[in-house]
Amino acid sequence: MSTMLDQQGRAAAVLRRFSRTTTAMLLLVVVAGAVALEVASSGSFFEGSSVRVFLQYLATPILIGLAQMVALCVGQLNLAVGALGGFTACLTGVLMADHGVPAVVAVGAGLVTATAVGLVTGLAIVATRINGFIVTLATMTILLGAQYRLVGTRTVDGYSATLRDLGSAAPLDIPLVFVTAIGAAVLLGAVMYRTVAGRRLLAAGGNPLAARLSGISTDRQIVAAHTLSGLLVGVAAVTATASLPGVNRSVGGDWLLPSFAAPIIGGVALTGGSIAVFGTVLAAFVTRLIDAARAQFSLDPSWVNLLIGLVVLGTVAGGHLHQTRLARTTAPSPQPGGAR
């Protein structure tokens, strides 16, 4: 009897602790937002087709958020997320449409290119010791130019029907591209939380000096993080190519801000060393919900930017208040009955 009570108590404590985390709050926001939308759309939001559309356009925000998160976890930034994604998407599209390359090869080439660009970025940062912000700003500019040179002002849409079918395929109303994004998130989570390589990344981001003293090459971790970030952007580009009606030079143009919004709302620290795969995915859900609500009430698209900006600012300020309150409540506990 007492053990059962014990267990209940412990479960309650775990629940209470969980209820104070960012993840729980985000989960609550997602559920509340979805219910509110369901009510507002008088019951059509949970219908198969609208769920499918909702999830279809959720894949890219999740993947670019994760790509940014990987860079953030070693204390780096990746400003080139959007440009690299757009470039890769255009490259894949042009290879298929203009050169008749089969879809599998084109997708492979896109993924390899994105990963290689990430690798080169990482190597450039480590070799020149220039701030990663500036290096990725430069690669962003270069890639934007390359993307424009690749497609110019046209829209490439004559590419493989197989890829397009895969992009719009949705068994049980769950689109394959969304499954891909979730799969990538699960894999990334497994790597980050369960493998030595993931631990090394986190250690290098959390405390570079300590990591170096314990035999971890921070340079190698920076290169690894940028490479992984490039790969994830490549996957995002492939999902975008598969689900968009065509690729042109505007693909990726609006990825930069959401890529930062998802990890930041999800609870990832910009200083490095922390990671929140589930939180990032949930934050991408939140931003997508805002977009869906915008469409529901047929508002100006600018509302989305305004709201996301305010949400990030609110998260930042709220997180700070939470921290100070935590500090105030936990500070006296090490020495109870002390001078205070």
Partner 1 sequence: MTTSVSPPDTVPKERTAGHRMPFWVNQRLGLLVLVIALSVLFGVVRPAFLDQRLVLFPLLRDVATLTVVALAQMAALSVGHMNLAVGRMAAFGAMFAGIGYDKLHLPMQAGLLLCLAAGAAIGAVTGWLIARTGVSSFVVTLATDFALLGLVSLMYSALTEDAAFTTRPAGVDALRSYSLADICAGPVCGSPAVPQLAQFTVLAMLGLGFLYGGTRVGRELLLTGANPAAAELSGIPTGRRVLLAHTLSGLLAALAGFMAAAGTGTFRASIGDDFMLPSFLGAVLGGTLLTGGVVSVLGTLLGTALVGVIRKGLDLLGVGLESLNIYLGCILLLALSADRIRTVVSYRKVVRST
Q: What x/- string results for residues 93 through 132 when contact with partner 1 is judged by CB under 8 A?
A: -------------------------------x---xxxx-
Count of positions on this chain that bind partner 1 (CB under 8 A) = 44
Residues 6 or more apart whose Cβ sits within 8 Å of residue 15: none
Please, which residue, 210 or 299, has the CB nearer to partner 1?
299
Q: What x/- string results for residues 273 through 302 when contact with partner 1 is judged by CB under 8 A?
A: ---------------------------x-x
330 lines the binding site for partner 1 (CB under 8 A): no
Please, which residue, 112 or 146, has the CB nearer to partner 1?
146
168 lines the binding site for partner 1 (CB under 8 A): no
The residue range among 19-27, 102-110, 147-155, 227-235 that interacts with partner 1, by the rule CB under 8 A, is: 147-155
The residue range among 39-47, 166-174, 207-215, 306-314 that interacts with partner 1, by the rule CB under 8 A, is: 306-314
Contacts 24+ apart (CB under 8 A), 196-204: 197/224, 201/70, 201/73, 201/74, 201/225, 202/73, 202/273, 202/274, 202/275, 203/273, 204/74, 204/75, 204/272
156 lines the binding site for partner 1 (CB under 8 A): no
8 lines the binding site for partner 1 (CB under 8 A): no
Buried b (16+ CB within 10 A) or exposed e, 185-223: beebbebbeeeeebebbbbbbbbbeebeeeebebbebbb
Contact 289, 45 (CB under 8 A): no
Please, which residue, 243 or 259, has the CB nearer to partner 1?
259
Q: Is the dihedral of CA 43, 47, 52, 55 positive or negative?
A: positive
18 lines the binding site for partner 1 (CB under 8 A): no
Residue choice 41, 207, 217, 305 for contact with partner 1 (CB under 8 A): 305
Residue choice 133, 169, 195, 197 for contact with partner 1 (CB under 8 A): 133
Residues 6 or more apart whose Cβ sits within 8 Å of residue 340: 332
Please, which residue, 135 or 188, has the CB nearer to partner 1?
135
Residue choice 169, 317, 326, 331 for contact with partner 1 (CB under 8 A): 317
Q: What x/- string results for residues 252 through 271 when contact with partner 1 is judged by CB under 8 A?
A: -----x--xx--x-----xx
> What distance separates the 2 farthest-apart alpha carbons in the chain?
78
Least distance in angstroms from the C-beta of 62 to partner 1: 19
- Angstrom distances, CA of residue 10 to CA of 23, 149, 330: 20, 60, 20
Closest of 53, 26, 35 to residue 261, by C-alpha: 26
Residue choice 28, 104, 313, 326 for contact with partner 1 (CB under 8 A): 313
Least distance in angstroms from the C-beta of 78 to partner 1: 12
Please, which residue, 183 or 314, has the CB nearer to partner 1?
314
Least distance in angstroms from the C-beta of 126 to partner 1: 13
Question: What length is written for the chain?
Answer: 340
Residues 6 or more apart whose Cβ sits within 8 Å of residue 80: 117, 121, 136, 137, 139, 140, 143
Please, which residue, 7 or 131, has the CB nearer to partner 1?
131
Contact 146, 87 (CB under 8 A): yes
Contact 262, 284 (CB under 8 A): yes
Least distance in angstroms from the C-beta of 71 to partner 1: 13
The partner residues of 156 in beta bridges, in order of sequence, read: 247
328 lines the binding site for partner 1 (CB under 8 A): no
SS3 of 292-314: the string is HHHHHCCCCCHHHHHHHHHHHHH
Dihedrals phi, psi of 8, to nearest 5 degrees: -60, -45
Binding site for partner 1 (CB under 8 A): 77, 124, 128-131, 133-135, 137-146, 148-149, 152, 257, 260-261, 264, 270-271, 300, 302-310, 312-313, 316-317, 319-320
